[in-house]
Chains A and B, each alone.
Chain A
Amino acid sequence: MKICVLVKEVPDAAVRKRIDPATGRMDRSGERTLNPYDTHAIEAAMAIREGGVVEVEEIVAVTMGPEGAVRALHKAVSLGVDRSLHLCDDGLAGSDVAATGYALAAALRREAPDLVLLGQQSDDGECYTVGAIVADHLAMPSLTQVIKLDVEQPSGDAPARLRCERQAEYGYDTVEVELPAVVSVGDAINEPRYPSLKAIMGAKKKPLEVLGLGALEIDPARVGAEGSAARWTGSKEPPRKPPGTIIEDEDTDATVAQIVAWLDERKLI
């Protein structure tokens, strides 16, 4: 069995949430890191390998992004991935989520995985959607927000299948999915391991392949800013609520007294 894990480099959460006082916008510069949600997908792949129900020959991390995105791949390798694939081309810049999914599907098609795993959402934007887009292009069944994933190997020549649990609109659903499939996992599925120092040091030595648009069957007219069907046409300020009161807790008795007074003033107690 071959598993591909889709990963993405995102701004580090620790610096991400700073507002630029000049523009009032989020400052997205600074350190970038592997999307924390993706570490759950890598861990899920490792759990299948270590679970022993099926033999996992290879776990491949796949990303699309500028040159710097290679850092996300190194991190993925340090967490147990065997090799990685970096889809990198100026022609991809500005792709919307549909174009991104289209290009990633082309890279995945070349790998022909039995299972594609990804995180439930990326920390910097598109939620839930890339998995469903990729799955449709690959003509594979898919499910998002999976928090329990078991591989079952029926007897005989039947393909392996997954038993997935997830929370949807009306409670928990249990869904059986035949492989090959695309599954995005929720963060409750596991506790990702920490990479060992040795794994971090060795990450750059694992095979990494960089692919441009020419190496894949991608129609250049369907990717990049020009090839994207959803177009950003403007932005505006949201209605702003006046900022609330912030208390930094130094003396807890005093803090509690302040909270009680605040609640009292609003007749909430």
Chain B
Amino acid sequence: MADILVYALHYEGAFNRNSLGAVSEGAKLAAELGGEVHAVVLGERVSDELCASLGGYGARTVYRVEGPEGLAQPVVDAMAQLVRAHGFGYALFGGGLLGFEIGAGLAARLGAGVAMEVTAVRAQDGRVVAERPILGDSAISEISYRSELGIVIGRLNALELADPSRNEAAVTDVEVEFSEFSTRARMLRRGEQRGEDVDIEGADILVAGGRGLGKAESFELCTELAKAFGPGSAVAATRAVVDAGWYPYAGQIGQTGKTVSPKLYFAAGISGAIQHKVGMQGSENIVAVNKDANAPIFEFSDLGIVGDLNRILPKLSAALRARREG
């Protein structure tokens, strides 16, 4: 079966960029396989217009399911029902937390093979081959499937968005009987923005702080450095730092945060885990300071400084300030 089913995540009237990338990539892949791409949308009274807009990225049919938003297991129920009814050959997810959870749950439900963190997909002899970087991106594995359904979970920002056409998808309402256990998790509050609103997407220079800063007070070193760089610079952070409450969520880079590509990305005390890397690897210049010479970030920095940021950052800030004032 050459047809592909894509899960499209939406929030407050717009689709997630990674989901649109998955629909776009799914459309290309389906064409190579001689099939079609269809999408599933689950939510509370999702509009016809929003659903139909997925046609612009290549979706033929959008299956609209009424259900609770933001939780994985109801989507697993919906997709399992759709796969059983229509026999899709592949299920495709854009990068993101929910995609991981849904894809994994669906693999268990249907006995399907699953490949995650996928950066490229292609058709080979009528079957899908997924490419997944492994070992800190030092090699790429190629994965194929021998189950009836193959599940592909993309890496964040890896599946590229097509320029949308004016095509509209046919919208079909589907009633899904949710599993008893799917209804035992309930969203009490969704999308809470913790901390003030900070703008990091417009900055040319970003000074980003990670757990290597050691404590909340050390975050000041990043703020000082950003100030020393002058106008056009801003401060960003890793998830660990945001979860610890040292910096607002609006300033977070990476998986479940923002994706940026400034002229300069200055990483202080950031190890460079994949979940962070995917949000900043498009930066034009990457400078990293870390005391661990083995930190993965040094594998993709243009300039790496192995040393104590508590010593280096204040002196660098002073040097930049002196230069600007001089």
Contact = CB atoms under 8 A, between A and B. Distances in A.
Contacts of A158: none
Interface in B32-55: none
B185 A260 contact: no
A240 B56 CA distance: 34
A229 B147 contact: yes
Contact of B142 (A134, A140, A229, A234): A234
Contacts of B240: 187-188
A222 B111 contact: yes
Nearest to A241: B300
Interface stretch (B23-31, B98-106, B165-173): B98-106
B296 to A, nearest CB: 7
Contact of A252 (B139, B145, B311, B320): B311
A252 B303 contact: no
Nearest to B107: A98
B325 interface: no
Contact of B104 (A129, A140, A238): A129
Contacts of B107: 97-98, 129, 133, 229
Contacts of B296: 17
Contacts of A163: 188
A246 B294 CA distance: 12
Interface centre among B98, B115, B141, B305 (most CB of A within 10 A): B305
Given A98-B108, A147-B243, A186-B243, A247 B304 contact: yes
A228 B151 CA distance: 13
A238 B138 contact: yes
A166 B140 CA distance: 31
A246 B292 CA distance: 12
A221 to B, nearest CB: 11
A119 B202 CA distance: 35
Interface string B287-308: 1000001111010111111111
A228 B150 CA distance: 12
A174 B98 CA distance: 15
B263 interface: yes
Interface in A121-143: 125-137, 139-143
Contacts of B179: 139
Interface string B103-120: 111011101111111000
Contacts of B244: 188
Interface in B55-82: 70-73, 76
B137 interface: yes
A197 interface: no
B264 A231 contact: no
A83 B285 CA distance: 50
A5 B249 CA distance: 29
Given A19-B138, A26-B135, A252-B315, A169 B96 contact: yes
Interface in B181-215: 181-182, 184-194, 205
A143 B188 CA distance: 14
Interface bracket on A: 35 or more
B305 A249 contact: yes
A29 interface: no
Given A141-B185, A167-B256, A252-B307, A237 B294 contact: no
A232 B185 contact: no
A243 B2 CA distance: 41
B218 interface: no
A177 B185 contact: yes
B216 interface: no
Interface bracket on B: 35 or more
B108 A137 contact: yes
B205 A169 contact: no
B323 A260 contact: yes
B194 A171 contact: yes
B176 interface: no
B229 A269 contact: yes
Contacts of A28: 135
B185 A172 contact: no
B97 A128 contact: yes
A245 interface: yes
B223 interface: no
A235 B306 contact: no
Contacts of B112: 98, 229
Nearest to B256: A167
A127 B155 CA distance: 11
Contact of A136 (B71, B76, B193): B76
Those 7 A-B pairs whose CB atoms lie nearest each other, nearest first = A249-B307, A229-B113, A188-B243, A230-B113, A229-B147, A136-B108, A132-B104
Given A229-B150, A255-B307, 13 more contacts: A14-B294, A98-B111, A129-B107, A167-B242, A168-B98, A173-B191, A188-B240, A231-B145, A244-B300, A244-B302, A249-B307, A253-B315, A256-B316
Interface of A: 14, 17-19, 24-26, 28, 96-98, 101-102, 105, 125-137, 139-145, 147, 163, 167-178, 181, 186-188, 222, 228-238, 241, 244-249, 252-253, 255-257, 259-260, 262-263, 266, 268-269
23 contacts: A17-B295, A24-B138, A98-B111, A98-B113, A101-B104, A129-B103, A130-B104, A136-B105, A136-B109, A140-B184, A171-B191, A171-B193, A181-B185, A188-B243, A230-B143, A235-B134, A236-B131, A238-B133, A244-B302, A244-B303, A245-B304, A249-B305, A252-B312
